[in-house]
A and B are shown apart, each in its own frame.
Chain A
């Protein structure tokens, strides 16, 4: 992969994180002040998912990380003498 691809990926990550931050901020902070019959609400799921979604994702992520750590600790393929 060329350094050009690295840069594209890097800036892509920046855009993605900005998008998530803005979307989530609108969802949690702005929408409560907007009437329910405004069209903007069609872009967002019911509010409960704003809290449940990240929580579930977080639990899954922690479980995966925990499993990874356990796997690496329990099965040393190369015994590296430091």
Chain B
């Protein structure tokens, strides 16, 4: 039985936080320089912001490259007219409130 995606995310997140916390709380001996220490402390929020930027950028890119199909709309209008004519020939009764 496969685990849910929520569960997969929780496993990853808690693993990361466990490692991070054990460093921040000084539970492990490390030989990191003071600069590295500063960076590691800020790591969770940094990754979150970076992730948000990537999402925003992806949405922006996908909106910018979203195809607008003007041709499809014109073609549809032509097909509607052709359909109307053909059906009228075959005896179809259109409603009086028809608007194309």
Partner of B61, one of A14, A20, A24, A58: A14
Q: How far is the CB of B96 from chain A (nearest CB, A)?
A: 29
**How many A-B residue pairs lie within 8 Å, measured between CB atoms?**
77
Q: How far is the CA of A56 from the CA of B16 in the complex (A)?
A: 22
1/0 per residue, CB under 8 A from A, across B25-51: the answer is 000000000110011011001101110
18 interchain pairs (CB within 8 A)? Answer: A9-B63, A10-B60, A11-B61, A11-B64, A13-B60, A13-B61, A13-B64, A18-B57, A20-B49, A21-B49, A25-B46, A28-B39, A28-B42, A32-B34, A32-B38, A32-B39, A51-B45, A54-B49
Name A's B-contacting residues (CB within 8 A): 3, 6-14, 16-18, 20-21, 24-25, 28-29, 32-33, 47, 50-51, 54-55, 58
Q: Say yes or no: B35 contacts A32, CB within 8 Å.
A: yes
Known: A3-B68, A13-B56. A24 touches B63 (CB 8 A): no
Chain A residues in 8 Å Cβ range of B35:
32-33
B65 within 8 A of A: yes
- The B interface, classified by DSSP as helix, strand, loop or mixed, is helix
Size of the chain B interface, CB-CB below 8 angstroms: 24
Chain B residues in 8 Å Cβ range of A13:
56-57, 59-61, 63-64
Q: Say yes or no: A14 contacts B38, CB within 8 Å.
A: no
Chain B residues in 8 Å Cβ range of A14:
57, 60-61, 64
Q: How far is the CB of A16 from chain B (nearest CB, A)?
A: 7
B88 within 8 A of A: no
Partner of B63, one of A10, A17, A33, A58: A10
